[in-house]
Amino acid sequence: MHEMSIALEVGRLVELEMERHPGRLLSVGVLIGDDAGLEPESLAFCLEAVLAHPPFDGARPVLNRVQGDTLRLEYLEVDDGRPDD
């Protein structure tokens, strides 16, 4: 039921990261434990809603389920426009 609160917190943290790593955001990885008290499908729905708008430009949420009560923003995938290393 509090998935939107969590999705908004993901948005806040992603914005902070994007200030340090500018580029086009492609995907956002979240680690979610089975005992985290969240419904993964509902969180995915809320994340899609949050990430649909600027500055996120429709980035794709990727939820990875694990055991326990882990709830973590794991990674961002960003196209920074620079050539591959």
Partner 1 sequence: MAVRTIEVREKLMARNNELAAEVRSRLAVSGVPMFNLVSSPGSGKTTLLERTLDLLGEELGIAVVTGDVQTQNDADRLARCTQRLVQAVVTGGACHLDASQVLKALEAIDLADTRLLFVENVGNLVCPASWDLGEIAKIVVLSVTEGEDKPLKYPKMFQQSRYAVLNKMDLLPHVPFDLDRAVACAREVNPDLQFFFTSAHTGLGMESWFEFLRRQARVAVPA
CB-based contacts of 16, cutoff 8 Å, min separation 6: none
Which runs of E-coded beta strand occur in 1-85? 24-33, 60-66, 71-79
Question: Coil, strand or helix: which one is 77?
Answer: strand
- Of 54 and 85, the one with the shorter C-beta distance to partner 1 is 85
Out of 48, 49, 66, 72, the residue judged to bind partner 1 by CB under 8 A: 72
Query: Tokens at residue 15, please?
Result: 């914005």
51 with 9: CB under 8 angstroms? Answer: no
Out of 15, 35, 41, 57, the residue judged to bind partner 1 by CB under 8 A: 35
Q: Does 46 bind partner 1 (CB under 8 A)?
A: no
- Of 9 and 53, the one with the shorter C-beta distance to partner 1 is 9
Which window, 46-54, 55-63, 75-83, contacts partner 1 (CB under 8 A)? 75-83
Q: Does 19 bind partner 1 (CB under 8 A)?
A: no
